[in-house]
Amino acid sequence: MSTPLAVSRGEACRIYLRGELGKLAPQTWVEEVVSGLSDGDAVTVASVLSLCRNNGVSRDLANGARFELVTVPVEHVLLRPAEPVLRERFEANGWSLVRIACDDRVLRTKPYVDYPTGHGVEYSVLLARAEGEKYRVIDGMHRAIQLARNGEPALELCSIN
């Protein structure tokens, strides 16, 4: 595990925006737009986007007291449900990223079946919360699974505590 590097709430919001907007536009464009936002604007845009997506991230970003970038081994990463239809599989795997990323029943289901091992991930920083010695991804579950499938030994997380 790397030494945590403190980041501002605004930067944590930019990390969220890079991940979310990267689904809609080329990452180079997203980077240009997001890096130009003030901290206040990044917080506002992230809050609105999270409310539109109804994913609860705005609550995490608003309530976080400390934001840190940290690199952790994939074995220390837990997930939340990504698709309701797979909740039982995620739970059966103990929410463990490593176990979920190897579960054939998960990988035969959309969207995972459409992204084979080796498919690139353009933006790999994920939002997470520390839970003891582990970290639970709160945004970026699909990217986390793809990174684990691709053999990444560790993930870069923006931990919200």
| % of the chain with per-residue pLDDT over 70 | 100
Mean pLDDT confidence for 68-73: 97
Mean pLDDT confidence for 27-31: 95
Confidence class for position 71, pLDDT limits 50, 70, 90? very high
Mean pLDDT confidence for 83-111: 95
Q: Which helix (H) or strand (E) holds 139?
A: strand 134-139
Give the distance from CA 157 to its chain's centroid: 7
* Alpha-carbon gap, residue 60 to 127, rounded angstroms: 10
What is each CA distance from 92 to 43, 89, 95, 123, 152, in whole angstroms?
35, 5, 7, 28, 23
Confidence class for position 59, pLDDT limits 50, 70, 90? confident
Q: Which helix (H) or strand (E) holds 98?
A: helix 97-100
* Single pTM value for the model: 0.93
Mean pLDDT confidence for 28-52: 95
